[in-house]
Each structure stands twice: as structure tokens, then as C-alpha cells.
């Protein structure tokens, strides 16, 4: 993965002509005054770990698994939000970990946590108290990897990349057990050998890990059919500084609160997930994606709601608003048959695809949809993981591009949609704001916004102000601060407002009990 | 509700002949030496509340809503487990609350909690520290209403029966908001006026409240189609001693752990649920229930698994083992067309019932099922809430009858089934043990056991020993200690073993933070 951007540098995208034209004509984008620095120019703080600490780390994972070189540190600095990239491109490595440590087992993670909390597995502490940042694919876009340094002697990135096994497959219960550091494509490849799939395909799919999906409550593009990642988790093992938590003896239980749902979304603040038991499904026999055109976002939204509430539910279901549809159509490889309206992508995977497609199509047609055939669906499927590449090109051209998202109940969705757009326009002047619904439920849906704006002299501060305005708007309009990106550091204050004082006290009580030294991802999630 | 048994005394059941014969011939049941006492003979501890405490309670809810009469106290003593009934029939009212308090609003509940924690809404405490037992329908079968008295100046039953409104209906989001004390039939009646239903029909349906369903993570007989109660909850308001928790801004969120899932199953130990926002559905156009016969529990189980994993999923799906099927067939109104094997009930509600019935039927037939038509289905639907009445008759006749349940993953289900049966036979000699699967998931299912045994001289101790043996067996076999009854006091130790030391610490940390005086349902849930 590119250290200062997304994905494979060889796959970097040229900006399509219509976008370049839009950038100049509509948004006033100009090339930035300074180009991105190269990796060796990133300014890093000195490694603060003492020789005894390094020796203690070596004793746990082996000397070759404790990395303190510049490139390793840079590659484990922050995540992949636009502010993260802006900082890295400006050479700001101030959030770099002092070391990258790569454990190979649950026991090594347990020993690491004891050491970082100021002790060691053998009870002889190395004397330094270290913040621990669990690191999977490094794809957080909410500051989930940017631990607070204050009050710590150093920061360690706990890279779980060596814990990447498919441990077992139970085809009777349809459960696969994985270690947390396995990347999603590798997990799918190993499952495919058994004729199985998770069906979890978020935009971060190519780089993110299964442990990260669980820690951040990820939701994939096929959530309508396969469910969110939290729907797939039937069991978790978690290493905490006070011991190991093992959850999940049954699909569902009435034995108290569901502790799995406490670990899901805990973003490394309560512990390190070291094993996941996940519901799997048979690899679909067939996949068909198609497009539908609706006259307006409101009409398309009503059609999605009907499918979610009355069925049949497609496997993939998304709706772009007028602006996102227009920008999509403006691409050189233009999709769809109309020049206005809103594009719906409906995908069907599995068995009896044609039957479900026909039944869902009848609902879409009844509610005003115009069928566009499979071309728009295939175009969407082809480009489904490529948006972050485009962002890098736009950044280099002087445009800030960022995404943000929320979710709410259907009756509140128009208010939420308007509130976010108003906040962005109020803060950024005349940005380009696109939106889509990509996850639908019986009672509500997600709203996913993509914002493009010309950078001013201080693009970081410019975006921070916009983000603050949006967070407030989402809170006031009654939405949740994140449907699938998570909380991290960027949403921490908004999250506190969302869960309220009692919710905050509950989170703090858990945190203080399982992590009394507060070394786990400090500053992330917990207000 | 009968104070010493289940339901409407006018509906008490005569024992069917075949059961009476079985009781004598197979189990050696004899009539008990002493009959049940009448209500006025129940021994109650004196009311321990001081005049200032009573005055303070009066000030909050009004004097007429603070009940200290014997009958009110008896009717709020314990729940409806067989040990609960045995104790009451023996005249043991030692767990009676000192007072029954009936708040009418969230604010009154908040004030009550402050008062019981030793303070008052105005800051002038009445000086007594009181245990608070939230009381809905009083149908707990796991000791969920039997708070510990030790260390408290008294026990107050917080009867939520006056908080019984349907607050609002949002037909766009398909969400209804209820107060917690509304009983399920009344909730369904009010929803039906809008053409809506919850679709939640546990055996306790006729008496239980929606707040109780949430607090105990209830699961209904139509869970295959409508989901468990926890699937229906999109938002909760909870009064705690440190303030109000308000959760649920969207169907799903990535904003941290799902705090709704912490309240669900918390059994009044973390707070009192004062509002529920629930997903509703359209009243089904049609309902069809039918029977299928399988040669064995294993074959029937494989067929249920196929439906759960590959679809189509019926609305109701249950399978009785050989013994339960035989006992069912032995009834005077015998059901089914065979004299052996295992009975499956498959129910279909909603739209396109015939289509789904045909498709599911094809799966059942392919896997060895023999169709029995709708007669067994109708018989099941007719008697679906009547089993507890039969238990009362059996108790009076000298047979202990009790139910217990667990859940596990499919591959582990045979082991779990064997372990529970072995434990019951080991402890009780030759009891009658029946089992059914009533809730299926892609990765596993529930197991629900009904046990009938002749009472020995000390039926309470006899059952307690059996229950202890079963709890250990479930733990060793890797099941959860409850699929839908909950933890209460009866499962508290087994629950501690299930969640492990770190899980226990998490629960205690939350409890201590939100209920620092420990007044909320002490002794229940939290190990």
C-alpha cells in the first residue's frame, strides 16, 4: 500500500477529463503550491524506547519482529482519511509509533499488553508505559490509529499481520475461525477452497483485515444480502490487560447482555481481538448487478424502503442522489440511459437469482423505476474498490476529497440529508456534495457523502472546520455519527454527545476495568 | 394471574388420561402429602419500611400507588418457575417485597431510584436503602424477581403496570414506541388498529410485558420469521441511578459498541427500561401452520438446518424429539398420522405464503420429511400458550414439571442434547425428558427441554440438584446457559462460568458505575 495514499501505486488513476473540467469551472481548484514529500523526508520523532524495553519486546516476539526503521514507522502512521494523507504528504510524521511489533500468537499479544502496561510476562517490568495501537490493514478513516502520546513513554504499533491463519472450518455450523490479521482477499481465497464466502466487501476490502472489520463494526457493499460484519460474528477471543475474554457459545443467547456486541466497535480500546468465529455462506452460484433510474432521490429512497420492508431484498442495494448520479454519468465510460435522475444499483447473488430479480424488479418498477439493464451494474461492480485511488489524484490536483457518513430512521432521513448538505455548504462555500444510500434496513438506512472542494491555504484546517460543522449537524438532526467508518479520534466528541453522559460513564467504567493503565489505543473511541 | 401458578384460574386444566397413566406407570408419581396453602396462609415477613420512607414513596407516586397489603405483596413475590410455585404452594412468602410501588412516568422511576439508593429527588433521603425489583408481567422462570435482601433495609417491587401506553407509531420507519409495562396482548391489540404487529409470541405472551421481553432477551415462537425480541429493538430509554441512558439513533451504527445490546438482557440490574422503540411489521395477510414427520431427531434437525442455511425460512419452525412427539401423540386429541418419529411444525405468515410453503416443503421432503398437513399445525397453534396450565395440574398431582433450555452451534448440538439428558437421568433416576428445537439460526439452534419426574420428600432440593447437574453439563458441553429464559438468580453461577473472569469484571464495572449503591435487582444476573 502506498504510504501517503491508497493502494497499489501502480494503479494510480489519471483524472478523467470531465472531472478536471468540473474542478476548474465549478470549484475553482488550483494546483497546490507544494508537492507531496517523498518518504525519506517525513519528519519522525526519535525512537523513545529504552534498551531494556526493546530487549523485553525482543524477548516476547523475537528481535526480527520489532521494527524501528523509518519506513516501517511511516507505514504504520495514522490511517487513510484525507487529513491523514494531507499530513503525510506534508511530511508530518509526528504520530509515528516508536516501534512496530509483530506478534504471532494470542499469548504473545497477552505478553505484549502486560509489558506495555508497565509490567512483563515474567513480572519484571521494563519500566516504560507504552501506548498500544492494534494495527490491521491500516485503513481507518476516522483517526482510529492515532493514539494519544501524552503521558506515555512511547507508542507501539501492534501489527497483527503475522496472525493471518484460517484456523478451522465447520461446514455443518457454517462457521470459520480466523486469526485477526488476515486480509479480506486472502480470507476469501482460503474460504473459496471450501466453496465458502463471507460476502463482506467494503470499499477497504483489498487491504483491510478481519480483525479490523470487527473492531470497527464494518459494513460491506453487499450488506443487504450478507448482513453487516457484526451480523457475521458468532464468537470472539479478546486479549485484555487483565486477561482473556472468550465470547460466543451459541448464535444467540439470553444469558445477559451480548458481550460480543461490546467488543464489536470497541476499536482496540478494550482489548485486542485474537480470534474470530464467523458465519460463512456458500459461494454464490450466480451474480447479477443491474441499474434502475428514478426521477428523484426521494422516489428512489421510497423504492429502497419498500424492498427493505416488504422484500424481496436484493444482495446489493444502493441509490445515488442527483449529484452523484450526474457525476457518475459525466465519466468517460458513461453509464446508464438517462442524463438526469438517480441511479439505483440492485445486485442479486446466490440461488434463484432470476426469480428474486424479477420480484424485486416488479417493486422497483411499480414505484417509478426505469430499468437500465446490467451495464450500470457491471460498471459499478468493476469500479467498486477504486474510489480511493481517484481521491489521491484529486488531492494531488489541489482538490480536497473526503467521505463521511451517517444513518438514521427512514422518517428522519430527509432531514439528515439536508442537514449534512447545509453544513457542508455553510462551511466550504460551494463544494461538490454527492450522496448515496448503500445500506438499507427495515427501519432506516445509511447516508454516505462524498465531498469535493477546492483547497484553500490551509486545507487541513479548512476540512476540520467543515467536519466539525457536519458532526454538529448530524447530532442535531438525530443521526448516528457513523454507520460504518467508526469513531476513532475524529468522532470522539460527537460520539460522547450521541451516547450521553450515562453512556460515556459505561464506556469509561469498562475501559478502566479491563485496561487500568489505559494503554490500549488511548484517545481513541472513549470520550 | 393465579398467585401460586400460571394464568387464569378458570382455565386450569384437567390432566389428560394418558398423562395420568404415564405418571403412575412410568414415573411412580403419587399425590403429594400436603395440598397447596391458600393465599391468606402464606407467611410474609413484616413490612420493614419506616414511616418516613413510606411518606417519601407517597410523595413520588401518590399514596394510592404504594401497596403494602398482603395480597399485593404475595402477587409480586418471585416468578413462575416450578421452584417458585413449590415455595408459594408451601406458604413460603419470605421473598415478598415490603411494598409494591407503581410509578406512572420515567421521571417517577428516576425519583424512585434516587430514593431507594438512600437519597430522594429533593436530596433529602428517607434514610433507608432499598432493593428495587423492576416488575413487569411477573413471568420470570429463572429467579429474575427474587432480589437479595441482605444488606438492605427493605425490598420494593417497582410495578410498571401503569406505564402501559403505545406512545407513537411511525409507519414510514415501521417503528412503534411503547412504555415498558404494557402486556403483549394489549400491545398487539393497539398495533392491530394500525394494521401492524410485533410478531413476538413467547409462551409467556398472555401475561408478559414488552419491557420484560427486552430486559430478559425474550424470543418468541415465530422467531424464524420475525426475529428475536432483541432484533426488534431499535431504541431504548433507561432510567439508572446516575441518570438516563437514551440509545438508538439508527437501525445500525458503527459508533462504538452497541449499547442497546448491553441493556437487552440486563434484567433490571443496570437500570429500568422506561421506553422501547420497536420495529413493527404489517399484520400478516395469511397464516398457515403444518406438520411434517421425520424418522429421527437427527434427520429432522438436519432438515431444519438446511432451511436455516439455504432457505426459505418459514415463520415458525420447530422440531420435537421422539419422546416429545410420542407424548404429544398420546394426547386425547392426538395429532399427526404416525405413531413414531419426530414432529416438525412449520408455519408461514405474511405474503406469498403458498409459494414459500411449497419451496420449504420441497426442502423438507428432500431431506426425508413426510407431510402431515395442517391438522398438527393447527393443534400446535391452538395449544401454544397452554403448557404452563398443564404444569400446574401435574404439580398438584405430585409430579415436578419444569422446563430448561440452551442453545449451541449445529455441530455441537447432539453433544449438548446428550449431555443435558444424561445429567437429568443421572440426577432424577428415570424422569420423562422431552426436547424440541424451537429457534433456528444459520449457525445453530436452541434446545428446549421439558422434564417430568415423581416428587420425592423434598421436591425443591430434588429439583435444585437436577438443575445444578444440568447447568454443569451445559457448561461442559459448550452451550449457553439460556437461549431465552435469562439468567436471574438461578443461572448466575453458570453465567459467571460462561462469560469468564474478564466478562464478570466487565459486568461488575458497569453495574458499579451506573448503580453505585447496588440497589437495582441485587443478586440477579451480576455474579
Share of chain A above pLDDT 70, in %: 96
Checking DSSP bridges between strand A130-135 and strand A166-170, what pairing results, if any?
A: unpaired
Grouping H, G, I as helix, E, B as strand and the rest as coil, residue B523 is coil
Q: Does B471 touch chain A (CB under 8 A)?
A: no
Grouping H, G, I as helix, E, B as strand and the rest as coil, residue A202 is coil
Nearest Cα residue in chain A from B234:
A443
Grouping H, G, I as helix, E, B as strand and the rest as coil, residue B62 is coil
**In angstroms, rounded to a whole number, what is the distance separating the alpha carbons of residues A302 and A165?**
43
Residue in A253, A267, A417, A494 to test binding to B, most B beta-carbons within 10 Å = A253
Q: Write the pLDDT tens digit of every residue in B242-259.
A: 999 999 999 999 999 999
Per-residue model confidence (pLDDT) at position B457 = 92
**CA distance, residue A363 to nearest chain B CA (Å):** 14
Residue A393: band (very low, low, confident or very high) from pLDDT cuts 50, 70, 90: confident
Q: Does A349 touch chain B (CB under 8 A)?
A: no
**In angstroms, rounded to a whole number, what is the distance separating the alpha carbons of residues B104 and B160?**
8
Per-residue model confidence (pLDDT) at position B13 = 75
- Contact present, B23 and B29 (Cβ < 8 Å): yes
**In angstroms, rounded to a whole number, what is the distance separating the alpha carbons of residues B377 and B346?**
7
**CA distance, residue B262 to nearest chain A CA (Å):** 5
**CA distance, residue B35 to nearest chain A CA (Å):** 35
What cell does A167 get?
484456523
Average pLDDT on A232-247 reads 98
Q: Does B509 touch chain A (CB under 8 A)?
A: yes
Is a pLDDT exceeding 90 seen at residue A10?
no
Nearest Cα residue in chain B from A503:
B245
The residues that bridge with B67 in the sheet, in sequence order, are B100
Is a pLDDT exceeding 60 seen at residue B122?
no
Is a pLDDT exceeding 60 seen at residue A69?
yes
The residues that bridge with A155 in the sheet, in sequence order, are A131
Higher-scoring residue by pLDDT: A287, B118: A287
Per-residue model confidence (pLDDT) at position A518 = 97
Of A274-283, A376-385, A425-434, B227-236, the least confident: A376-385
Q: Write the pLDDT tens digit of every residue in B404-424.
A: 999 999 999 999 999 999 999
Please give the C-alpha separations between residue B239 and each of B154, B236, B269, B273, in angstroms, as whole numbers. Answer: 21, 10, 11, 6
Please list every residue in chain B whose beta carbon sits closer than 8 Å to the beta carbon of residue A249.
Answer: 407-409, 478-480, 498
**CA distance, residue A482 to nearest chain B CA (Å):** 5
Please list every residue in chain A whose beta carbon sits closer than 8 Å to the beta carbon of residue B280.
Answer: none
Mean predicted lDDT score pLDDT of chain B:
94
Q: Does A140 touch chain B (CB under 8 A)?
A: no
Per-residue model confidence (pLDDT) at position A126 = 66
Residue B327: band (very low, low, confident or very high) from pLDDT cuts 50, 70, 90: confident
Q: Counting one residue from A and one from B, how many pairs have CB atoms under 8 Å apart?
A: 276
Asked whether the beta carbons of residue B250 and residue A513 sit closer than 8 angstroms, the reply is: no
**In angstroms, rounded to a whole number, what is the distance separating the alpha carbons of residues A248 and A250?**
6
Is a pLDDT exceeding 90 seen at residue B289?
yes
Per-residue model confidence (pLDDT) at position B335 = 43
Q: Write the pLDDT tens digit of every residue in A353-364.
A: 999 999 999 999
- Which ipTM value was assigned to this complex? 0.96
Is a pLDDT exceeding 90 seen at residue B31?
no
Of A351, A439, A505, the CB nearest to B242: A505
Q: Write the pLDDT tens digit of every residue in B474-511.
A: 999 999 999 999 999 999 999 999 999 999 999 999 99
Higher-scoring residue by pLDDT: A395, B42: B42
Q: Does A193 touch chain B (CB under 8 A)?
A: no
Nearest Cα residue in chain B from A485:
B254
Nearest Cα residue in chain B from A219:
B254
DSSP string, A10-42: GGPPPPPHHHHHHHHHTT-----SSPPPPGGG-
Please list every residue in chain A whose beta carbon sits closer than 8 Å to the beta carbon of residue B481.
Answer: 253, 255
Average pLDDT on B343-356 reads 94
Average pLDDT on A291-316 reads 97
Asked whether the beta carbons of residue A175 and residue B441 sit closer than 8 angstroms, the reply is: no
Residue A119: band (very low, low, confident or very high) from pLDDT cuts 50, 70, 90: low
**CA distance, residue A487 to nearest chain B CA (Å):** 5
- Contact present, A146 and A79 (Cβ < 8 Å): yes
Of A173, A263, A442, the CB nearest to B410: A173
Rg (CA), chain A: 23
Is a pLDDT exceeding 50 seen at residue A123?
no
- Contact present, B159 and B97 (Cβ < 8 Å): no
**In angstroms, rounded to a whole number, what is the distance separating the alpha carbons of residues A394 and A410?**
33
Average pLDDT on A307-321 reads 96
In what side-by-side order are the strands of the sheet with A99-101?
A: A66-67, A99-101, A154-159, A130-135
**CA distance, residue B449 to nearest chain A CA (Å):** 16
What cell does B391 get?
404444569
**CA distance, residue A309 to nearest chain B CA (Å):** 8
What cell does B440 get?
433456528
Per-residue model confidence (pLDDT) at position A383 = 87
What cell does A89 get?
504528504
Q: Write the pLDDT tens digit of every residue in B46-101.
A: 999 999 999 999 999 999 999 999 999 999 999 999 999 999 999 999 999 999 99
Residue in B173, B257, B262, B491 to test binding to A, most A beta-carbons within 10 Å = B257
**DSSP-assigned letter for residue A165:** -
Is a pLDDT exceeding 80 seen at residue A470?
yes
Please list every residue in chain A whose beta carbon sits closer than 8 Å to the beta carbon of residue B495.
Answer: 255-256
What cell does B525 get?
444476573
Asked whether the beta carbons of residue A230 and residue B499 sit closer than 8 angstroms, the reply is: no
Per-residue model confidence (pLDDT) at position B266 = 98
Asked whether the beta carbons of residue A254 and residue B218 sit closer than 8 angstroms, the reply is: yes
Share of chain B above pLDDT 90, in %: 84
Of B250, B439, B442, the CB nearest to A480: B250
Per-residue model confidence (pLDDT) at position A339 = 59
Amino acid at each position: 500500500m502506498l504510504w501517503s495514499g491508497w493502494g497499489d501505486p501502480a494503479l494510480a488513476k489519471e483524472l478523467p477529463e470531465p472531472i478536471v473540467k468540473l474542478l476548474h469551472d465549478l470549484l475553482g481548484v488550483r494546483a497546490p503550491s507544494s508537492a507531496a514529500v517523498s518518504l525519506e523526508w517525513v519528519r519522525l520523532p526519535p525512537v523513545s524506547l529504552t534498551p531494556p524495553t526493546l530487549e523485553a519486546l525482543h524477548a516476547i516476539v523475537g528481535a526480527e519482529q520489532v521494527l524501528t526503521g523509518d519506513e516501517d514507522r511511516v507505514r504504520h502512521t495514522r490511517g487513510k482519511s484525507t487529513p491523514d494523507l494531507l499530513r503525510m504528504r506534508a511530511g508530518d510524521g509526528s504520530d509515528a509509533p516508536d516501534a512496530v511489533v509483530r506478534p504471532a500468537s494470542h499469548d504473545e499479544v497477552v505478553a505484549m499488553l502486560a509489558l506495555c502496561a508497565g509490567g512483563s510476562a515474567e513480572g519484571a517490568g521494563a519500566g516504560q508505559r507504552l501506548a498500544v495501537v492494534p494495527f490491521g490493514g491500516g485503513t481507518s478513516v476516522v483517526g482510529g490509529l492515532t493514539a494519544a502520546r501524552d503521558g506515555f513513554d512511547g507508542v507501539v504499533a501492534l501489527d497483527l499481520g503475522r496472525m493471518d491463519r484460517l484456523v478451522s472450518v465447520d461446514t455443518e455450523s457454517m462457521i470459520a475461525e480466523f486469526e485477526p490479521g488476515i486480509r479480506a482477499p486472502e480470507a476469501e481465497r482460503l474460504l473459496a477452497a471450501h466453496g465458502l464466502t463471507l460476502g463482506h466487501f467494503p470499499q477497504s476490502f483489498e487491504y483491510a483485515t478481519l480483525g479490523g472489520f470487527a473492531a470497527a463494526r464494518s459494513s460491506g457493499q453487499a450488506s443487504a444480502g450478507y448482513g453487516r460484519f457484526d451480523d457475521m460474528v458468532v464468537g470472539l477471543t479478546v486479549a485484555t490487560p487483565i486477561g482473556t475474554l472468550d465470547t460466543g457459545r451459541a448464535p444467540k443467547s439470553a444469558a445477559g447482555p451480548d458481550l460480543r456486541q461490546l467488543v464489536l466497535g470497541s476499536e482496540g480500546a478494550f482489548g485486542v481481538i485474537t480470534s474470530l468465529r464467523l458465519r460463512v455462506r456458500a459461494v454464490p452460484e450466480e451474480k447479477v448487478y443491474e441499474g434502475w433510474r428514478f426521477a428523484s432521490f426521494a422516489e428512489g429512497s421510497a423504492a429502497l424502503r419498500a424492498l427493505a420492508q416488504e422484500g424481496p431484498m436484493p444482495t446489493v442495494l444502493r441509490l445515488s442522489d442527483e449529484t452523484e448520479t450526474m457525476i457518475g454519468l459525466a465519466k468517460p465510460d458513461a453509464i446508464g440511459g438517462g442524463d438526469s435522475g438517480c441511479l439505483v444499483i440492485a445486485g442479486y447473488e446466490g440461488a434463484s437469482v432470476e426469480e428474486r430479480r424479477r420480484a424485486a424488479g416488479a417493486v422497483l418498477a411499480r414505484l417509478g423505476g426505469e430499468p437500465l439493464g446490467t451495464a450500470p451494474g457491471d460498471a459499478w461492480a468493476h469500479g467498486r474498490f477504486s474510489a480511493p485511488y481517484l481521491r489521491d489524484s484529486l488531492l494531488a490536483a489541489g482538490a480536497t476529497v473526503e467521505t463521511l457518513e451517517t444513518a438514521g430512521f427512514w422518517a428522519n432521513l430527509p432531514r439528515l440529508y439536508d442537514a449534512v448538505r447545509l453544513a457542508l455548504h455553510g462551511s466550504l462555500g460551494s463544494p461538490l456534495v454527492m450522496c448515496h444510500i448503500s445500506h438499507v434496513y427495515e427501519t432506516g438506512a445509511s447516508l454516505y457523502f462524498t465531498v469535493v472542494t477546492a483547497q484553500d491555504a490551509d486545507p487541513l484546517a479548512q476540512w476540520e472546520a467543515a467536519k466539525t460543522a457536519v458532526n454538529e449537524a448530524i447530532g442535531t438532526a438525530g443521526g448516528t455519527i457513523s454507520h460504518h467508518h467508526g469513531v476513532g479520534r475524529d468522532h470522539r466528541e460527537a460520539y460522547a454527545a450521541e451516547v450521553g453522559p450515562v453512556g460515556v460513564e459505561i464506556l469509561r467504567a469498562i475501559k478502566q476495568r479491563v485496561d487500568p493503565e489505559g494503554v490500549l489505543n488511548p484517545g481513541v473511541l472513549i470520550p
